[in-house]
């Protein structure tokens, strides 16, 4: 069986050179975030572009994000889809203040509903309101990934797409000696999605691993 090619630094640079179309607005946000102590939490530019393409291919109009950090993924989606409405969940005012500034500068802030509260509370409120979404990106604390996934499933329309980030967890998912709560959370959600007959699935080795789950019609 043909395995995934080993992408070293030089090959990754080539991929970015020939395929990345990062806007000035995204580049500015990426540069500022990279200076933060937690800057490594930011998704890669190729992943942001891939998600925007997925949004276009799936006809996404209502986007839900669980874990927004400094707003790169939301900005990538908003710029890729000019008619997109976004609902973003996070608990950090400090990080999302960075996001707000860059969303404003890019002219997309009015389309983004940022909810600063525990995500499971926000998701429960959205369910009570009868909200439905086309695309959900989950990139929050790994211990709650299964709970986030199940809450998102309730909010997705038939044919909607859930994308779960960090599902390879820098390789820790196959480290038999790593039983940290975060690693076990990633393993749990990977197994949960694998065994979920309600969705069509594919795991993509982009960034730190992206698990795609399409809710069946």
Strand duo 210-215 + 156-165: pairing? antiparallel
Q: How far apart are CA 172 and CA 180, in angstroms?
A: 10
Query: Which of 1-15, 21-35, 149-163, 168-182 has the weakest average pLDDT?
Result: 1-15
Q: What is the pLDDT of residue 144?
A: 98
122 has pLDDT over 80: yes
Q: What is the enclosing helix (H) or strand (E) of 16? A: helix 9-19
- From 119, 112, 157, select the one nearest 138 (Cα to Cα): 119
Average pLDDT over residues 167-175: 98
Q: What is the pLDDT of residues 12-31, one digit of tens each?
A: 999 999 999 999 999 999 99
Indicate the pTM of the whole model. Answer: 0.96
- In sequence order, the 6+-apart residues with CB closer than 8 A to the CB of 45 are 16, 20, 22, 26, 30
* Distance, CA of 175 to CA of 182 (rounded, Å): 13
């Amino acid at each position: 069986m043909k395995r995934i090619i080993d992408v070293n630094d030089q090959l990754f640079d080539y991929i970015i050179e020939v395929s990345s179309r990062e806007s000035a607005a995204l580049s500015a946000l990426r540069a500022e975030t990279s200076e933060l102590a937690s800057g490594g939490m930011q998704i890669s530019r190729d992943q942001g572009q891939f998600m925007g393409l997925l949004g276009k291919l799936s006809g996404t109009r209502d986007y839900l994000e669980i874990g927004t950090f400094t707003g790169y993924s939301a900005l990538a989606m908003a710029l890729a889809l000019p008619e997109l409405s976004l609902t973003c969940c996070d608990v950090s005012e400090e990080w999302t203040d960075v996001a707000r500034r860059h969303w404003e500068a890019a002219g997309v802030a009015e389309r983004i509903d940022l909810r600063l509260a525990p995500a499971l509370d926000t998701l429960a409120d959205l369910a009570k309101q009868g909200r439905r979404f086309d695309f959900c990106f989950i990139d929050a604390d790994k211990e709650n990934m299964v709970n986030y996934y199940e809450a998102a499933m309730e909010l997705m329309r038939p044919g909607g797409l859930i994308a779960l980030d960090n599902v390879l967890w820098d390789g820790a998912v196959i480290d038999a000696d790593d039983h940290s709560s975060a690693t076990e959370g990633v393993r749990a959600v990977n197994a949960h999605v694998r065994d979920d007959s309600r969705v069509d699935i594919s795991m993509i080795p982009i960034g730190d691993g992206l698990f795609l789950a399409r809710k069946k019609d």
